[in-house]
Amino acid sequence: MAEAVPEAGRQAITATWPRAEIAQILAATDGVSGAVDDYGLYSWTDLAASCRADGPQALVDAVHRAEEQDAHGRTWPRYKPSDDKALAHLDLTADGTSAG
């Protein structure tokens, strides 16, 4: 929404966590978050694990495939066949293993 209404950025919710409690960060557009929130393809935990194992592109590809298989929005009603997708994954563990 912020692209259409820049004032929306002022409504952002922010939070902080101690660095020691953060193992990885995912930043996703709504085109990717739909895999969790709208399509139920993943839980957020599963999406993070899959991203770590297979990389962000594999997840973006999986969402594309799901949308292509439901091109008319019958399974997942939506106002357009697909959305732009971007996903960034930052692994903060030194050796790539989970921090706890």
pTM of the model: 0.70
**Residue 84 near residue 32 (C-beta atoms within 8 A):** no
The count of other CB atoms within 10 Å of the CB of residue 33 is 18
pLDDT value at position 18? 94
Residues 23 and 100 sit within 8 Å (Cβ to Cβ): yes
Q: Report pLDDT for 95.
A: 65
Give the residue-averaged pLDDT of 45-65: 91
Which pLDDT value is given to residue 100?
46
Q: What is the mean pLDDT of the chain?
A: 84
Q: Enumerate the domain spans of the chain.
A: 6-91
The answer to whether residue 40 scores a pLDDT higher than 60 is yes
pLDDT of residue 77: 77
Give the Cα separation of 69 and 63 in Å (integer): 10
